[in-house]
Amino acid sequence: MDPNVELGDFLRSRRARLRPEEVGVVLGAGGVRRVPGLRREEVAHLAGVSADYYTRLEQGRHPHVSDAVLTAVARALRLDDVERGYLFELVRPAPARRRPEPPQRVRPEAHRMLEVLNDVSPALILNHRRDVLAANQLARALIRDFDALPVRERNLARHVLLDPAARDLYIDWDEVAQTFVANLRLAAGRRPDDPLLNELIGELFVKLPEFNGWWATHRVGQCAHGVQRLRHPVVGELALSHETLAFPADPDQLLCLYTAEPGSPSAEALRLLASWSAPDRPARTSASPPRPGQGMTTHRP
């Protein structure tokens, strides 16, 4: 992805979403506009720069733009914190990596943490591409057994966007899918030279009909937290909060943790799923999986 092209497209998409009356722009006689949103000269006026300067910024001709100007443009376009950071990253991209990225390793201590959480919380360790670097047993039972896939296919975004089973699992699949697309765009702005990320995005363009339209909105997001509603084939419906936390010692590794409200039906469903998926469980058949309320036995060592 060319940062200059992306910068222009991003700025145009952000000014197109703003209505003139939202930012105090007075329409001329008749109030008829040929294009949606703000014009370049209106953004320039709101940011306190010349129309020519803003035009050159939108065209990617910005060799020495200052932080003050970028902050003013972000304020004029009403960017949120994530969008503002993305703007700065597009203008000042990180140096291209000259060497291939080494394989990422999850520390043994982090693996142990996943296992400690196994009885109560599905948990995964992801990188910026949303590759699944590690997952506990409960996460594999809830979402997918990523360990059973080839290494290059162990990616949460690919699962959500391309696996037909994900459309059944996520009740609000469209919303979840668009959030992952927004996260991939954010990652692509930060790592435009990442070949595996670019390969994933190219695959999504080819295989997911909705992807092109979602990508064209230039939405960016972090997938930092929220609530997901799931319909699991074994334990039924769940509403789970998810939080994404960074490892200070491993800055490109993120802990994605799912929790249920204590005492809720979702908490009981997680408990049943943990029992059903425990390594020492008795033999079961896919034809008659246990359901909530049917009386499951928790097996302890």
* Three-class SS state of 69: helix
Rounded Cα–Cα distance for residues 119 and 259 (Å): 11
- Helix or strand (DSSP H, E) at 207: helix 195-207
Average pLDDT, the chain: 85
Rounded Cα–Cα distance for residues 116 and 113 (Å): 5
**Which tens digit of pLDDT belongs to each residue from 226-235?**
999 999 999 9
Instruction: Reply yes or no on whether the pLDDT at 24 is more than 90.
Output: no
Domain span(s) for CATH 1.10.260.40 in the chain: 3-91
Instruction: Reply yes or no on whether the pLDDT at 297 is more than 50.
Output: no
- Give the mean pLDDT of 258-287: 79
- Give the mean pLDDT of 219-226: 86
3-91 placed in CATH 3.30.70.2740: no
Residue 247 identity: F
Give the CA distances from residue 281 to residues 29, 271, 274, 276, in Å, rounded to whole numbers and listed in that order. Answer: 74, 14, 10, 7
The closest of 283, 278, 271, 270 to 300, measured between CA atoms, is: 278
Domain span(s) for CATH 3.30.450.180 in the chain: 108-276
pLDDT at position 285 is 39
pLDDT at position 291 is 45
- Phi, psi for residue 227 in degrees, rounded to 5: -120, 135
Task: Label residue 267 exposed, middle or buried (CB < 10 Å: 0-12, 13-18, 19+).
Answer: middle
**Which tens digit of pLDDT belongs to each residue from 103-160?**
788 999 999 999 999 888 999 999 999 999 999 999 999 999 999 999 889 999 999 9
* Three-class SS state of 212: helix
- 248 falls in which pLDDT band (50, 70, 90)? confident
- According to CATH, what is the number of the domain 108-276? 3.30.450.180
Instruction: Reply yes or no on whether the pLDDT at 279 is more than 80.
Output: no
Find where tokens 């972000």 sit.
74
Q: What is the DSSP string of 159-173?
A: HHHH-HHHHHHBTTH
Residue 135 C-beta-side C-alpha neighbours within 13 Å: 23
